[in-house]
Structure 1
Amino acid sequence: MAIIKKKDGQFGVYNEAGYQVEGSFSANLEGLNPKEMLEASLALCTTIVIQRMFERDGIEYQEGDFSVEVNAIKAGDSPSRFEECIMKITLPPHLEDSYKNKLIVSAERACTIGNTLRKGLTIRTEKVDN
């Protein structure tokens, strides 16, 4: 569960453990805006899957040799939405290309966020009274 609430004049993102990150209304400022949170969700989910495969297979690498970057592209028509996410995965250079391809295919299949974005979901909105 994620909760967005205003405290001390700032919108924050909270979970059951408490405050996690500052929310932002604009990109590339302190905190994350909604687009950046969407991108981060897909990137982190993919990172988790690949990192677990590295651990399973005993793969070691240097910091900076592995990263996932996501850029969400807005649609040009209505309604306002993102129509594409471009994901760039940098993998350690010492890995065989066949293993890198296997990692990417496995990550695409196993990442819950990626599967949700590809398939779509129903959003049910409920009004809560104080």
Structure 2
Amino acid sequence: MNSSAAKHDVFQAIADPTRRQLLHLLVEQEMSVTTISGHFPMSRTAVSKHLRVLSEAGLVKEQKVGRETRYRMQPEPLLELKDWLSYYERFWENKMQALKRFVEEDPSENNVPANPRLVDRSPKKESR
């Protein structure tokens, strides 16, 4: 079996919420597996498996420091994800612009009836 076939891509790697949390932890500083494991309610072995997936996707780099292996984030592979998502941003932008126009629209200017759900229909109490 080809070793590159076993590697994970960026999309697979970040699909898991635990791996996304791992990346978040490693943004600012490199950490050992022991330090990282202290942030999660799982075994060191489970954390190591998640780190292996991130490493295979190129999102983290390992470095031996004495007997300890430290991990740090490598953000470059995330550009692939950014490029892929940028195509779909135009759909979000159009929806957001339409929502902004709708929210800022003055209903009295456009003969738009008031939303009946927002009109207070409770009986008025007379004050004495």
Q: Normalised by the size of structure 2, how large is the TM-score?
A: 0.21
Give the strand-richer structure, 1 or 2. 1
Larger Rg computed on CA atoms? 2
Give the helix-richer structure, 1 or 2. 2
